[in-house]
Structure 1
Amino acid sequence: MKKRLSLFLLFLNLLPLGGVRAQSARPNILFIFADDLRADALGCYGNPYVSTPTLDSLARQGTSFANAYILGGDQGAVCAPSRAMLLSGQSFFRVSDKLNGVLTLPMHLRQHGYTTFLTGKWHNEREAVAAGFDRAQNVMLGGMANHFEVPVRDLKPDGTFTEPEKKGFSTDIFTNTALDFLDQHDGQKPFFAYVPYTVPHDPRSPLPEYLRQYDEQGVPLPPNFMPLHPFSFGNSMAIRDEQLAAFPRTPDVIRAQTAAYYALITHLDQSVNLLIRKLKQKGLDKNTLIIFTSDNGLGLGSHGLLGKQNVYEHSVRVPLILAGPGIPKNKTTDAFAYLFDLFPTLCQYARLPVPGGLDGQGLWPVIQGKAKGVRTELMTAYMQFQRSVRDARYKLIRYPAIDHTLLFDLRQDPYELRNLAEKPEHAPRVQALLALLQTEQKKYGDTLPLTAEKVLPRHWDYRTIERKPDPWQPQELIERYFKD
């Protein structure tokens, strides 16, 4: 009898991955996605000023990547290609920001027995929502909104959406919707709950109770604060993100905006706490993987920049934390990771087949401690104006449009302030990294020459920029930052 029982149990373990019992044994996945959160804006990533106790605790309960990056973007709205890469596992040179008709992570999980759920920001073609999600409630279609007036919609059975409604502050809407989903989940199938927030993306207008936690003039400036970026990238410096404060940048304005940015992050941190508490209340915490990351970083005064339309570390490096069953606790790895590595990583974690044709590489061996990394170099890119490549120590940035090169020793100069490219002793390293950059370009489908046919001047004059507020800025921010 015991022998027959053992054989029966063995048979169950050998069922196809689509089998009912295999589905019920698979982990749930709660994917929490921040918007414009630079890696060093969390306590667990070395920031002593911002208050993020929940995420700091999550990092202690799991594994953090110190070198997680986005590949970059082909447009000013970097978040759109970043999200497309995350969900498709492919570089933006192949998918751009379009997901309609593309195999996505939620589609793949759904095909293998997962209940898939979305609430929050969706910036990658509305038709792709119905293809990937069983349920989508209180979804913001687009790139940004006033946090107090965010228009949200529900997915209808026919794949279209309800008319937009404004229901409150964005962070609270998405958190409460995710809490309702967790309350209603019947446990018959594992779930993939994708919760992409719209904070701390601007407008930098947090709820007052969170802003009161920060001294607007006591917030430290970034170590690489500059009043102005020292040269043009070749494209206009008048892009929307850079107009959110006057030129030249002043310490008072950067401190005030950083305080509001931190307040939005603290609100998000407390919302994550509510989600984790709900998992515990429902008994779901023992079989749920929690992932926290961001679509890109942000300048916020670093190098005289406010936005993410650049390849400096503050804009392309993001936090990445994984915690849950099977994830080593209190571990930090220096292994290079892209956001698009998460598609194959989650497949490995959930014991699902990894689709072919992905640019991402599974990080599960790194997380388990069986491999030091999946790559030894890492490229980032922004439109046709910027390319970079880095190894374990050095980072080269190439500006094709202005025929300019920077080289930084990130070990000695993590804030990218001392250009070594023109020092004779570094000439061989510059050439080696340029060759490596070209190799990486081919790998991800990037055909941009590293010197433009027509080289543009590096000089730019901030006095020629006429600043105008976008339609999503609340009146109080217009009065404060756009009035002379």
Structure 2
Amino acid sequence: MSGCRTNKGLSDNKQQPNILFIAIDDLRPQLGCYADTIVQSPHIDKLAGSGVLFKRAYCQQAVCSPSRTSLMTGRRPNTTKVWDLKTHFRTTIPDVVTLPQYFKNNGYHTQSIGKIYHDPAEAQDALSWSAPEILALTKKDGKYVLPSNLKSKSSKAAATELADVPDNAYIDGQVADQALEVLGKIKDKPFFLAVGFRRPHLPFSAPKKYWDMYDREKIPLPVQHTLPSNIPAYAAHNSEELRGYSGIGSGNSIADSITRELLHGYYAAISYTDAQIGKVLAELDRLNLTRNTIIVLWSDHGFHLGEKGLWAKATNYELDTRVPLIIAAPGKGRGITSDRLVELVDLYPTLAQLGGLPVPEGLEGTSLAPLLTKPDQPWKSAVFSQFPRPWQYKGEPATMGYAMRTERYRYVEWRNFKTGEVKAMELYDHQLDPGEVNNIANIPENSTLIHELQQQLRDGWQAARPGGF
């Protein structure tokens, strides 16, 4: 942990703090502030230097809508019953008060720019906002600018696009421009401004100058390409999300040249989004709002870039469930890190507490506010994620994989969704196997450990909370 400085702000008087809520799609914690030596992310790194960076933050389900629904409602997927991309939480928990809705009900102006909930029009939630959503829907002409891609009959054309165009030729530059405009309009009242960026979600499209920041030939390939041999087939997938794009091929492996192009595109897309975030943060400074604004930056889930032979998300593995998370708040820690286990579902109670509001009943997360001043204090003993199989199921899933991450282990149970019967187990020792290559669940010597982890998983998130909650 670096020196525990505190942000100077207005937290010692009664002025309501603003909230700047920055969402990024498909960003794994591969950033300079997370000690990555490849990705150039100076603006997010600067934000980390003004707040608390959580090194071990996890989503509740590694795909867009279930993860975002969980965060925005403060409930876990088995409570929201949103495990797919089509179910809207208003059909399953119709009276729930979302995070921005709670602030709206308490006198805030709440507004959304870009992707906050999932993309389609039917996934939006007007009750959350004081004004209509801006740029909430993903369209093809926001993903691509080259005619060859725009003319493609499929919504998925090339997996990458490089074009010598200004930032706002693509959707995330437009989102940043809108955020600057809206900030100027709402600066004189307490606000909850949610700004959602789509890259580095596929396709990896970015202006040329961000591609030029990287030398493709120097980009290392994934270290480990194979899945553990003793896992059920449904624990993984065939990278269907990536294979829908042109030029990838249908074989089991992807050529090294294509892999390097994809990695190059992912990194360029990160740097592009980082630059847009920098514009928004600079405008917050210019308007003298930073000192009374709580800034939260998060991603909805992680991402595989060829590790285990997997691309994209939709598993229970570390690379898909671990996310970047930074909180910079007036009067709280500045330029510090926390190694404690935390979850995206924790953000609702955290922001309520930091905003001086009562934490509502029924939330299934734990406020992280204590960690913003004492980041190394004892905290959760485990965090929890899940994923259904088959993915894109009809009706209800046949199998649900329940994953638990402790200080040392990742333990996964694949259960019959109706009966709860355990069909398969996975166990990875992160002290010895951080890449999750060796499933040690079926080794007889681990039977006592398995029994302990089984019980801890069944005890669930309530029993994993720190003392005093």
TM-score (norm 1): 0.76
Using the TM superposition, give the Cα deviation of residue 143 of structure 1 relative to its aligned residue in structure 2, in angstroms.
Answer: 9.8
Report what 2:207 is aligned to: 207
Letter in 1 for 2:353: Q
In the TM superposition, what are the counterparts of 1:306-345 in structure 2 within 5 Å?
Answer: 306-345=311-350
1:302-333, Cα deviation, whole Å (9 max, x unpaired)? 11110211011110000000113122012111
Letter in 2 for 1:407: L
- In 1, Cα distance between the equivalents of 2:141 and 2:233? 28
Q: Residue 372 of structure 2: SS of its match in structure 1?
A: helix
What residue ranges of structure 1 are gaps of 5+ in the alignment? 1-12, 14-20, 152-166, 445-484
Report what 2:448 is aligned to: 428
1:5-63, Cα deviation, whole Å (9 max, x unpaired)? xxxxxxxx9xxxxxxx95xx011111110000111x11111210010011112112110
Q: Residue 136 of structure 1: SS of its match in structure 2?
A: coil
Equivalent residue in structure 2 for 1:82, among 67, 82, 104: 67
1:412 aligns to 2:432 (yes or no):
yes
- In 2, Cα distance between the equivalents of 1:130 and 1:333? 35
In the TM superposition, what are the counterparts of 1:386-405 in structure 2 within 5 Å?
Answer: 386-400=401-415, 403-405=423-425
The 1:143–1:342 alpha-carbon spacing in structure 2 relative to 1, beyond 3 Å, is farther
1:235-270, Cα deviation, whole Å (9 max, x unpaired)? 783463152544213333222101100101001111
Letter in 2 for 1:388: A
Letter in 2 for 1:387: Y
In the TM superposition, what are the counterparts of 1:78-477 in structure 2 within 5 Å?
Answer: 78-95=63-80, 96=82, 98-100=88-90, 101=94, 102-121=96-115, 122-123=117-118, 126=122, 129-141=125-137, 147-148=143-144, 168-187=169-188, 189-226=189-226, 230=229, 233-234=233-234, 237-238=237-238, 240-243=240-243, 244=245, 245-246=248-249, 247-369=252-374, 372-383=377-388, 384-400=399-415, 403-440=423-460
In the TM superposition, what are the counterparts of 1:55-74 in structure 2 within 5 Å?
Answer: 55-72=44-61
Report which of the two structures shows the higher radius of gyration computed on alpha carbons.
1
The 1:261–1:178 alpha-carbon spacing in structure 2 relative to 1, beyond 3 Å, is same
Using the TM superposition, give the Cα deviation of residue 146 of structure 1 relative to its aligned residue in structure 2, in angstroms.
Answer: 5.3
- In 2, Cα distance between the equivalents of 1:397 and 1:145? 40
Using the TM superposition, give the Cα deviation of residue 137 of structure 1 relative to its aligned residue in structure 2, in angstroms.
Answer: 4.5
Check the 8 A contact 1:80/1:143 in 2, yes or no: no
Equivalent residue in structure 1 for 2:25, among 19, 35, 51: 35
- In 1, Cα distance between the equivalents of 2:58 and 2:42? 23
TM-score (norm 2): 0.79
- In 1, Cα distance between the equivalents of 2:118 and 2:178? 19
Using the TM superposition, give the Cα deviation of residue 289 of structure 1 relative to its aligned residue in structure 2, in angstroms.
Answer: 1.3
Q: Residue 305 of structure 2: SS of its match in structure 1?
A: coil
In angstroms, what is the RMSD of aligned CA positions?
Answer: 2.8
Using the TM superposition, give the Cα deviation of residue 394 of structure 1 relative to its aligned residue in structure 2, in angstroms.
Answer: 1.5
Letter in 2 for 1:355: P
- In 2, Cα distance between the equivalents of 1:233 and 1:198? 30
- Which of the pair has the greater relative contact order for Cα pairs under 8 Å at 6+ separation? 2
- In 2, Cα distance between the equivalents of 1:56 and 1:127? 32
What residue ranges of structure 2 are gaps of 5+ in the alignment? 1-10, 151-167, 389-398, 417-421, 465-469
1:111-156, Cα deviation, whole Å (9 max, x unpaired)? 11111111101328658532111123532336998523799xxxxx
Check the 8 A contact 2:142/2:169 in 1, yes or no: no
- In 1, Cα distance between the equivalents of 2:267 and 2:98? 32
The 1:442–1:336 alpha-carbon spacing in structure 2 relative to 1, beyond 3 Å, is closer
- In 1, Cα distance between the equivalents of 2:236 and 2:385? 20
434-443 or 256-265, larger mean C-alpha shift: 434-443
Q: Residue 192 of structure 1: SS of its match in structure 2?
A: strand
- How many residues of Structure 1 are paired with residues of Structure 2 in the alignment? 401
- In 2, Cα distance between the equivalents of 1:86 and 1:367? 19
Letter in 1 for 2:410: K
140-149 or 111-120, larger mean C-alpha shift: 140-149
The 1:190–1:233 alpha-carbon spacing in structure 2 relative to 1, beyond 3 Å, is farther
The 1:142–1:239 alpha-carbon spacing in structure 2 relative to 1, beyond 3 Å, is farther
Check the 8 A contact 1:287/1:325 in 2, yes or no: yes
Q: Residue 141 of structure 1: SS of its match in structure 2?
A: coil
259-268 or 132-141, larger mean C-alpha shift: 132-141
The 1:221–1:396 alpha-carbon spacing in structure 2 relative to 1, beyond 3 Å, is same
1:395-444, Cα deviation, whole Å (9 max, x unpaired)? 21233479433222212322112333233332211221122222228989
Using the TM superposition, give the Cα deviation of residue 68 of structure 1 relative to its aligned residue in structure 2, in angstroms.
Answer: 0.5
Check the 8 A contact 1:70/1:295 in 2, yes or no: yes
Using the TM superposition, give the Cα deviation of residue 298 of structure 1 relative to its aligned residue in structure 2, in angstroms.
Answer: 0.8
Check the 8 A contact 2:69/2:89 in 1, yes or no: yes
- In 2, Cα distance between the equivalents of 1:400 and 1:47? 36
Letter in 2 for 1:375: K
Check the 8 A contact 2:337/2:375 in 1, yes or no: no
Check the 8 A contact 2:49/2:335 in 1, yes or no: yes
- In 2, Cα distance between the equivalents of 1:86 and 1:195? 15
